[in-house]
Amino acid sequence: MANVKIPDSVLVGPEGTKLKAWGSSKELSAVGKPRPKIGAQEKVTGSAIYAYDVQLPRMLYAAVLSSDRAHARIAALDTRKAEALPGVRAVLTYKNIEPVKWEQEGNILRDTVGYVGEPVAAVAAETEEIAYDAIHLIAVKYDPLPSVIEPLDAMKPGAPQLQKAGNVWQGKPVIYKRGDVEKGLKEADIVYEQTYTTSVQHHTTMELHGCVVQWDRDGLTVWDSAQGVNQVRDQLASRFNLPVNKVRVICKYVGGGFGSKNSAKHYHGLAALLSKRTGRPVKLFNTREDEFPVSRHRPKTIQTLKAGVKKDGTLVALYHKAIGQCGPYLDGAALGARATGDGTKSLYLCPNLMTEAYSVHTNTPLLAPTRGPGDTENLFALEQFIDELAEKVGINPLEFRKKNYAEVDQPHDNHHYSSKGLDRCYDMAAKAFGWGQKAKASAPHKKRGIGMSSLIWHGNRTEKSQAGVIIQPDGTAEVVAGIASLGVGAETIFTQIAAEELGMKMESVGIRWGDSSSTPYTINTSSGSRTTAIAGPAVRAAAADARHKLLKAAARLLGIKPTEIATLSIKDGVISTGDQSKKISVAEVARKQGRELIIGTGHRPPNPEDMAIEIFGAQFVEVEVDEQIGEVKVLRAVTAIDCGRWINPLLAESQIQGGFIQGMGMALSEERIMDSRNGIQLNANLHEYGMPTSLDVPDTNLALDPEVIDASNNINAKGLGEPPLVGAGAAIANAIYNATDIRVRDYPITPNRIVQALKERSSGTRQG
C-alpha cells in the first residue's frame, strides 16, 4: 500500500496551493500517534458536564406517561388529579397541546397510540418526585385497536393494516439484482439454503436520553445528549418554525449514543413545549424502563440465504431475502430493510445475485440506527452462511473467502476501491491469532472452537463539511468544530490533524466544540462512522488555510516576497526558510498580529467520483462451550480493520475492543423479550436485557492496523466506529460450530439455545 496515488482533487489547498500527500504515519509527527483524549481530566474527576448533570435556576423536572397498549385509541384521559397536585406546573396531552407536526402521523401527542412506550402525556413540576407522582395520577382509558406484533403475522392476509401502503414498508420489498440468479443456481454444482434470525439490539446508552430546554423570548436553548448539535438545532428550528439563529444546542459530552441519539425526538419536543408553557427551564430525561422503547433499537430480522457454488468453491449465485421488523410509523422504517446490505452485494465476487428486503410495520417501538445498522444484521447471517458453504465444498473457511475475493465494487459500476486492505487483514489477523490451532479445552464437558468472519461497512458519500482554525494572540491554535463528543475521540484527532498541518506541537493545539451557536457546520450528526472521514479533511483544510495566512504574515515580517512563501516551512512552532537563514516563531507572528487574529477556514473537497469507498476487516475468535450448561465463553478475539489511516492508534484500539464486545453481546446474550400478544417488553431493564459485563470480556482482545493509506480524502481515513461490531457475531457462531458441531442460526446464541440444540442432536431430531 506504499505507493497509493492520492488524487489532486482531494488535496486542494488555499489560494491555488496543493496540500502535501501524507506518507506513512511513521513519517508524521502528530497524526498516527497514540494520544490520550482531550477532556480526560474532566472525565476521571467527575467534573465533565453531561446534559443529565445540568441544573439551572428555576428549572422544572418533567416526566412522561407512556402507553401500555400496543394499539389503541384514547377514550378517556383524566388529568385533574395530576394538575391539582401541589408543585405541578403543566400537564400536556393531545387535548391541550399546540399543533406541532412531529412525524408523518401528525402531532407530537395524538389520541391514538401505536406501540407500548409511545408518549401519552407529559408533566412539568417543581421536583422530579412531584413530576412522577403526577404521572401516576393521570388516568387513561383506552379503546383497543387491532394490533400485530410479529412481522410474519403482519405479512399474513387479514392482518390489521398499519399503513396505507400495507404492512410492508412502501408496499413492496427493496430489490437489487445483477446477472441471473436462477441461471447461476443451475450452473452450480452445489445449491445450499439456510435461514437465520437476529434479535433486537438496544443501544442501552449509560446516559439516558433526554435534555434540558429553556424557551423564552430570546429563543430556544437545549442542553442535549445528542450525537450532533447541528442536526437537532435544524430539526427543532424547522418543527417549531423558529429562525435557526434563535435555536442553540449545547452538547459537549454525550454518555453514549451508538445511533440512538441522532435527530430531535419526542422528548425534545415535549420538553420544549413544557418550557414554552411554563416560562421555566425544563429537564426531561427518560426513566430506564421507558428508555427501552423510547430510545429505539436495531430491528430483529429473519433472513434466508441461498447460494450456488462450483466444486472448486467458486460462488456463482447468491440470493438473500431479509424481513426486518419496524414500528407502525414511517419514521425509522427504512432501517428494517437494510439487512441485505454491502455484505451480500459487495463482499464476494458473484455474477448472479439478487436481494429482497422487507421492512414490516408492527405495533412495536420505532427503529433507530444501531451501531453498524444493516451491515451487522447482514453479516451475522451471511458470514455464518459462507462458513457453511465452505464446509459443503470442503475448503477452509478463510481460503473460501479469499477464493471469492472481490477486487472491485460490484454494485457500484465495478469501481475500484479507494483502498481495500481486506486481504492484509485476513493475513495479519490469521497470523496473530494462530488460525488453525485449537487449544485443549479445560474440562471433558467443555469444547473449544475457532471461527472467523469478514466485515464490511459502507464508506462515506460526499458531504459538505466546514471547520475553522484560529491562531490566538499567544501563538496557540484552536480548532473550532461543530460536533458533539461521543467519547470516541473525534475532537482529539482533529487537534492531531491540525497540529500536523500547522507544524505545531500537539500541546499547542486546542479545540472548541459542542455548541451550535459558536461553531461552524462541521457535521449534522456523528453517525455512520463518518465524523473522521467527513470532518477530518475540513479540519485539515482549515489548518492549511491558517498555515497559509501565518506564512504570509511571517513573510512580511521576515522581508520575504509573498510569491516566495512556498520556501517557508513550520516545524515545532517555528517558521523558517529552507536554508534556516531566516526564522520566526508562530508565537511571535501571532503576537504581532495582536487582535487581528489569523482565522483559517476550510471545507471538505468532494470524494473522487470514480472510487468506491468501503471499510473492511477480519475478526477471529476462540470460544469454549460448556456442553452441560450451554455457556459460551469467548477466550480470545483478534480484529484487523482497514479503515484507512489510524489517526490515533490508542483510540482506535478502544473502538475495536469495545465494538467487538458489543457485537459479542448481540451474538450471545442481548435480546428483547416481548410478549407477542400485547407488545409489552418483558426485560426492559439492564439486568435482564443481558449486555456483557467485565466477567464476559476476553483477556485477549487484539486490534491490528493493516496500515492502509486510503485515497479518498486528504487524511486517508475511512471511519472506524461501527465496523468492529459487524463481524463479531458470525465469527463467534462459527467458532461455536467448530467446537460443538452445532449450528445455532438464531441469535443470540444463549445457553438455552445451545442446550436445546445439543438435546435435539442427541435425540436425532437435528442435523448440523
Instruction: Supply the Cα-derived Rg of the chain in whole angstroms.
Output: 27
CB of 486 to another protein, least distance (A): 6
Nearer to another protein, 260 or 404 (CB): 260
Contact 119, 270 (CB under 8 A): yes
Nearer to another protein, 85 or 408 (CB): 85
Contact 89, 125 (CB under 8 A): yes
Contact 452, 648 (CB under 8 A): no
Nearer to another protein, 105 or 126 (CB): 126
Cα–chain-centroid distance for residue 593? 42
3-state secondary structure of 569: strand
**Catalytic sites, residue numbers:** 722
Virtual CA dihedral for 723, 729, 734, 736, nearest 10 degrees?
Answer: 140
CB of 116 to another protein, least distance (A): 7
3-state secondary structure of 96: coil
Separation of alpha carbons 494 and 64, rounded Å:
38
CB of 726 to another protein, least distance (A): 15
Nearer to another protein, 190 or 650 (CB): 650
Nearer to another protein, 125 or 353 (CB): 125
Burial of 444 (0-12, 13-18, 19+ CB in 10 A): exposed
Q: What is the DSSP string of 604-636?
A: PPPPPTTEE-EEEEEEEEEEEEETTTTEEEEEE
**How many Å from the N-terminal Cα to the C-terminal Cα in the chain?**
41
CB of 321 to another protein, least distance (A): 32
Q: For 577, left (φ over 0), alpha (ψ -120 to 50), or beta?
A: beta
Contact 85, 123 (CB under 8 A): no
Nearer to another protein, 66 or 712 (CB): 66
Residue 748, preceding peptide bond in cis (omega within 30° of 0): yes
Three-class HEC string of 269-307: HHHHHHHHHHCCCEEEECCHHHHHHHCCEECCEEEEEEE
The C-alpha cell 482506535 sits at 652
Nearer to another protein, 518 or 693 (CB): 693
Q: Which residues contact 750 (CB under 8 A, 6 or more apart)?
A: 630, 668, 669, 671
CB of 491 to another protein, least distance (A): 13
CB of 623 to another protein, least distance (A): 17
CB of 125 to another protein, least distance (A): 9
For residue 641, the tally of other CB atoms under 10 A from its CB is 33
Virtual CA dihedral for 97, 102, 105, 106, nearest 10 degrees?
Answer: 40
Helix axes of 531-558 and 490-502: crossing angle, nearest 10 degrees: 30
Nearer to another protein, 236 or 674 (CB): 674
Virtual CA dihedral for 410, 411, 416, 418, nearest 10 degrees?
Answer: -130
CB of 113 to another protein, least distance (A): 10
Smallest CA-to-CA distance from 583 within 574, 572, 573, 593 is with 574
CB of 229 to another protein, least distance (A): 16
Nearer to another protein, 249 or 309 (CB): 249
Nearer to another protein, 141 or 186 (CB): 141
Contact 468, 501 (CB under 8 A): no
Q: Which residues contact 700 (CB under 8 A, 6 or more apart)?
A: 635, 636, 637, 638
C-alpha cell, 508: 499547542
CB of 592 to another protein, least distance (A): 34
The C-alpha cell 485443549 sits at 440
Nearer to another protein, 349 or 650 (CB): 650
C-alpha cell, 447: 469444547
Separation of alpha carbons 192 and 92, rounded Å:
56
Contact 183, 273 (CB under 8 A): no
CB of 369 to another protein, least distance (A): 16
Task: Tell me the torsion sign for CA atoms 621, 695, 667, 759.
Answer: positive
